[in-house]
């Protein structure tokens, strides 16, 4: 079996798989490269302000290629804040998204897809909903040599991998039972020839009390404050402990992980593969907040946390969350039990997305 590896776009080495973040790479057999005949990408970021639960102001940004831009990267950002009558800021919603050119990403952890979202409110009647999505679609053609086929063979099963990692933090100044509105959702999927042919899908929804509901084979765990304490100062730690005792503080990490998926390639037949990652965070009024990132370490969290939780060292919290992600690697995750293939499978590859991902959260996902 030949797997996808990092590249510009097409790759394949018989025994090595590079660690990737949200990256979508189409692989090849041996050392040859297939032809990518078309590439499309889109990034969307949206921040919705809610007043007593009803939609109020909104800010959104999107980029599409081809369309809005002529070349990579595609970058979006959206921001809203709320102030009281005295002009003091009491709530923020912010989101960021980016898709880089995978042909230029030759580092061990290229961050091809990145999504970061966060919102907090210390106001009695204001909350936010922040959403982000990133997708990339490629049309690929593989020839007989690249598939390793004989003169009379037309098809071969190709195996690829998805690479995911991430984390999510949210807090509430009141017990979890009073903050059911807050939470984070992350989803990642790979489809072929439109949404009807789903090759891989996984998601996680995290709600109040740290309750997490997942679909697919995603691996995650709750991280305690003791682990985060190593990189934060005493004052920050006291504030976080108090928050944990009086209300809620939840950190969930999606370990660095790999997942395999398969599809069948036919000689010289175009294959349209789409990788999509989505994240949503939402909070409630009166002392709640949520932050999530996919495809890169947190980069916009430090100032946000420092303002949302006065007295804390936001940069230290950001560093501790990023370290919790980088310290976890579970490698290849076994798929759910399934019947063995009826016929021998050949080697080929398509790969993962390093956005999502969630996915939030520090998520590094790659589509190879």
pLDDT digits (tens, 9 = 90+) for 196-249: 789 999 999 998 878 899 999 999 999 999 999 989 999 999 999 999 999 999
Could you tell me what percent of the chain has a pLDDT over 70?
A: 77
* CA separation for the pair 18, 8 (Å, rounded): 12
pLDDT band for position 33 (cuts 50, 70, 90): very low
Q: Is the Cβ–Cβ distance between 108 and 18 less than 8 Å?
A: yes
Mean pLDDT to the nearest integer, 246-265 = 90
- Report yes or no on 338 lying in a domain: no
* CA separation for the pair 208, 204 (Å, rounded): 14
pLDDT at 68: 85
pLDDT at 334: 86
pLDDT at 161: 82
Q: Is the Cβ–Cβ distance between 91 and 121 less than 8 Å?
A: yes
**Which is more confident, 146 or 118?**
118
What are 148-186's pLDDT values in tens digits? 888 889 999 988 888 888 889 999 988 755 566 899 999
- Report yes or no on 116 lying in a domain: yes
Distances (CA, A) of 208 to 30, 186, 290, 325: 48, 15, 11, 21
- Report yes or no on 49 lying in a domain: yes
- Report yes or no on 313 lying in a domain: yes
Say if residue 22's pLDDT is above 80: no
- Report yes or no on 220 lying in a domain: yes
Q: Is the Cβ–Cβ distance between 48 and 34 less than 8 Å?
A: no
pLDDT band for position 363 (cuts 50, 70, 90): very low
- Report yes or no on 5 lying in a domain: no
- What total number of domains does the chain contain? 1
- Report yes or no on 189 lying in a domain: yes
pLDDT at 9: 26
Most confident of 32-41, 186-195, 236-245: 236-245
pLDDT at 160: 81
pLDDT at 158: 87
**Which is more confident, 312 or 6?**
312
Say if residue 135's pLDDT is above 70: yes
Q: Provide the residue range defining the domain that includes 299.
A: 10-333+343-367
Write out 22-53 in H/E/C secondary structure.
CCECEECCCCCCCEEEEEEEEEEEEEEEEECC
pLDDT band for position 142 (cuts 50, 70, 90): confident
Say if residue 366's pLDDT is above 80: no
Token couple for 43: 């990034």
* CA separation for the pair 291, 169 (Å, rounded): 6
* CA separation for the pair 131, 96 (Å, rounded): 9
pLDDT band for position 351 (cuts 50, 70, 90): very low
pLDDT at 3: 31
Closest of 347, 188, 314, 307 to residue 259, by C-alpha: 188
pLDDT band for position 360 (cuts 50, 70, 90): very low
pLDDT at 118: 98
What are 63-89's pLDDT values in tens digits? 999 998 888 899 999 999 999 999 999
DSSP 8-state assignment for residue 216: S
3-state class (DSSP) for residue 292:
strand
- Report yes or no on 230 lying in a domain: yes
pLDDT at 296: 82
């Amino acid at each position: 079996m030949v797997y996808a590896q990092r590249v510009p776009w097409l790759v394949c080495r018989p025994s090595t798989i590079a660690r990737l973040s949200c990256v979508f790479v189409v692989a090849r057999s041996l050392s040859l490269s297939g032809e990518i005949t078309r590439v499309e990408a889109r990034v969307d970021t949206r921040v919705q302000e809610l007043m007593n639960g009803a939609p109020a102001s909104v800010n959104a940004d999107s980029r599409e290629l081809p369309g809005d831009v002529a070349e990579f990267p595609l970058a979006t950002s959206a921001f809203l804040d709320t102030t009281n009558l005295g002009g003091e800021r009491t709530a923020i919603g912010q989101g960021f998204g980016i898709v880089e050119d995978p042909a230029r990403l030759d580092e061990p952890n290229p961050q091809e897809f990145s999504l970061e979202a966060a919102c907090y409110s210390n106001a009695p009647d204001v909350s936010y909903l922040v959403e982000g999505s990133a997708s990339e679609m490629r049309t690929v053609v593989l020839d007989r040599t690249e598939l390793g086929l004989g003169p009379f063979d037309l098809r071969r099963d190709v195996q690829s991998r998805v690479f995911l990692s991430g984390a999510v933090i949210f807090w509430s100044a009141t017990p979890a039972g009073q903050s059911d509105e807050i939470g984070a959702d992350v989803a990642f999927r790979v489809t072929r020839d439109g949404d009807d042919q789903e090759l891989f899908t996984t998601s996680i929804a995290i709600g109040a009390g740290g309750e997490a509901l997942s679909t697919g084979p995603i691996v995650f765990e709750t991280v305690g404050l003791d682990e985060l304490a190593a990189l934060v100062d005493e004052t920050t730690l006291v504030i976080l402990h108090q928050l944990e005792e009086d209300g809620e503080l939840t950190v969930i990490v999606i370990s660095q992980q790999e997942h395999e998926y398969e599809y069948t390639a036919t000689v010289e037949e175009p294959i349209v593969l789409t990788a999509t990652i989505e994240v949503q965070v939402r909070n409630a009024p009166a002392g709640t907040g949520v932050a999530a990132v996919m495809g890169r370490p947190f980069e916009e969290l430090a100032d946000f946390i420092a303002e949302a939780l006065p007295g804390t060292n936001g940069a230290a919290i950001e560093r501790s969350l990023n370290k919790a992600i980088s310290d976890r690697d579970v490698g290849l995750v076994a798929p759910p039990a399934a019947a063995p293939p009826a016929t021998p499978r050949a080697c080929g590859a398509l790969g993962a997305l390093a956005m999502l991902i969630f996915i939030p959260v520090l998520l590094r996902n790659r589509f190879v």
